[in-house]
Amino acid sequence: MKASCMRVLSALVLAAACGGAPPAPPVMPPARVVSLAPSITEIVYALGAADRLVGVCAQCNYPEAAAQLPRVGGYLVPNVEAVVAARPDLVLVVPSPGNRDAVHAVERTGIRVVVVQDRTLEDLWTSMRTVAAALDLAERGEGLVTDVQRRLEAVRGRVAGLPPRRVLLVVGHTPLVVAGRGSLQDELVSAAGGVNIAADVGGVWPQISLELVVARAPEVIVDAAMGSEAGRRDLFAGLATVPAVRDGRIVAFAGDAVFRAGPRVPEAARALAAAIHPEAFAAG
């Protein structure tokens, strides 16, 4: 026994003398994860890591199983106490106007926080890879990026060669707020065979006037606002010279996929393409 101990001690002394050190213990993949954004939650599910989620924000509602997970506050204002109480070893975050202080408070507890962006398609590819790497699933992350890009290209191919149509994508009625340049929605309109008439207005979510709608003359108005059919009809009722109004091309756009930089982006693009170019989808 004494001889064995002496051999171990000698090995450690030799390693120290040679500038070496005992190997660090392996870093284990995070087993308890909190997601503070719906887009991130969808990515985690798509990576096959849903079993690691121990908390999500109140707006995480897809897939259906996500609605059953413990809530840790809202997307805009996470509940720090609820996040910490979930005992995560990883918190995944998208910056929002109101979550900075809460995220910093979580970081001060020593919990690892990984922040990703979700404004553009490039952000989506990066966030998929970043989330996958944080979960020690880098290979799956590359596979997910490849799959989503392939499906998005299929939508582009479906409308390729068709004349682009002028599109207004509405996200709010009062005031009238639309998708502008630099947004995921602007990119999806382009992928779907449209030209965003508000791309040069200024800002990601510009507020515009009805006079500008008349001047830009959209051929299709995609209304993704959470208003009523009556409100939608009344908003544009007096704009008879606008092609979209004249031709009955005001399309109600339900669902939240178009607002999430996640794995369902191809489905959102396809739905937009069907609204902008229904002739390309007549056969299904």
Query: Which of 273, 277, 218, 222 lies closest to 246, judged by CA?
Result: 218
- Say yes or no: 138 and 190 in one domain: no
Of 115, 148, 181, which one is at a domain's C-terminal end?
A: 148
Is residue 167 one of the residues assigned to a domain? yes
Residue 9 lies in a domain: no
117-165 pLDDT tens trace: 999 999 999 999 999 999 999 999 999 999 999 999 999 999 999 999 9
Tens of pLDDT, residues 253-280: 888 999 999 999 999 999 999 999 999 9
72 SS3 class: coil
Within this chain, do residues 129 and 182 fall inside the same structural domain, yes or no? Answer: no
User: What confidence tens digit (pLDDT) does each residue in 81-91 have?
Assistant: 999 999 999 99
CATH number at 185 reads 3.40.50.1980
Domain shared by 103 and 172, yes or no: no
Q: What's the total number of domains in the chain?
A: 2
Sheet holding 90-93, edge to edge: 53-56, 33-35, 90-93, 113-115
List, for residues 166-192, the tens digit of each pLDDT value: 999 999 999 999 999 999 999 999 999
Host domain of residue 187:
163-281
> What average pLDDT score do residues 208-237 get?
88
Q: What gap in Å lies between CA 133 and CA 91, rounded to an integer?
A: 13
Same domain, 111 and 64: yes
**130 and 49 part of one domain:** yes
Q: Which of 148, 175, 206 is the last residue of a domain?
A: 148
Whether residue 119 is contained in a domain is answered as yes
133 and 41, same structural domain?
A: yes
Q: Is residue 55 located within the same domain as residue 138?
A: yes
53 conformational bin, left if phi > 0, alpha if psi -120 to 50, beta if neither: beta
Residues 111 and 42 in one domain: yes
Whether the model pTM is above 0.85: yes
Predicted pLDDT at 255:
85
Q: CA-to-CA distance for 163 and 186, rounded, in angstroms?
A: 17
Domain end, chosen from 119, 148, 177, is at: 148
- 201 in the same domain as 101: no
Residue 121 belongs to some domain of the structure:
yes
